[in-house]
Amino acid sequence: MHRREVQAALQQERKRQARRAWIARGIGSTIMLGLLAAMAVAVIHAARTPQSTASAEIVAPKGVTSDGAIPVGDPGAPVRVTVYFDYMCPACGAFEKANGASLKALAAAGKARLELRPLRFLDPTSLGTAYSTRAANALATVAADSPSNLWAFHSALYAHQPQENSHGLTDAEIARYGEDAGVPSSVTSKFVDGRYAGWIRKMSDAALPTVESTPTVLINGSEFDGSLMIAGPLTEAIEAAVGRSK
């Protein structure tokens, strides 16, 4: 998804919030009606706010790099591959289908160290459920507490990727797919806490000025400008970088 589309979606969401606030101010003039309106707004807000995005605290998960990437593979691998993505993004789903298996193999072979950077750009398109944040928070939780199952869980989220402009998966569904991927229930039960939601927001806001679209892939810090939607070009570029490192 391109940055202009992200900014337009965020602007549209701000306009909707402003319109709702204007309507709320005009509900009534008496103290009793004002109290009733405030109570109603509070109840509606509590019902619509996902539990897993409630935390405003900024806590980075264990094991992330100093600049906020979730690492996969040998830290001493000769090539660093950075992937910016959003779990609601259809293009990211196509990228995963084309390149996920080869990236996993390159990391397992010690040729590449992957750096996953989940974003929340498409939160405004999940009909109020903040799906991108919830899914990214779940990944961060697995990275911190069950890292051996990280890639399997990452793949499972794409295997069950919801459509854009939908509510996305529920927290219970995310947890179930996590357990199917081998993540212990003692870890999936933490997803609803939203412990890393603030960190996800911070990392996404930091990426917004420079990441033009998702997915975006960097090889040793330089953006890969070949095709990301078909198998082959990215793998060949990574293998070439491995060769140059020898």
pLDDT digits (tens, 9 = 90+) for 58-93: 999 999 999 999 999 999 999 999 999 999 999 999
CB 54 within 8 A of CB 194: yes
pLDDT at 52: 43
Into which CATH architecture does domain 70-244 fall? 3-Layer(aba) Sandwich (3.40)
User: Using CA of residue 202, residue 174, residue 84, residue 129, what is the dihedral sign?
Assistant: negative
Structure pTM?
0.80
Angle separating helix axes 90-108 and 150-159, nearest 10 degrees: 150
User: Using CA of residue 179, residue 159, residue 154, residue 195, what is the dihedral sign?
Assistant: negative
Per residue in 226-241, pLDDT (tens digit) is 999 999 999 999 999 9
Burial (0-12, 13-18, 19+ Cβ within 10 Å), 102: middle
Cβ count near 206 (within 10 Å)? 14
Residue ranges in the chain whose pLDDT is less than 50: 18, 20-52
Q: Record the tokens describing residue 35, joined without a space.
A: 């109290």
pLDDT at 243: 97
E-only strand ranges, the chain: 70-72, 79-85, 112-118, 216-219, 222-223
pLDDT at 6: 55
Domain boundaries, the chain: 3-48, 70-244
According to DSSP H, which parts of 27-149 are helical?
Answer: 31-48, 90-108, 131-145
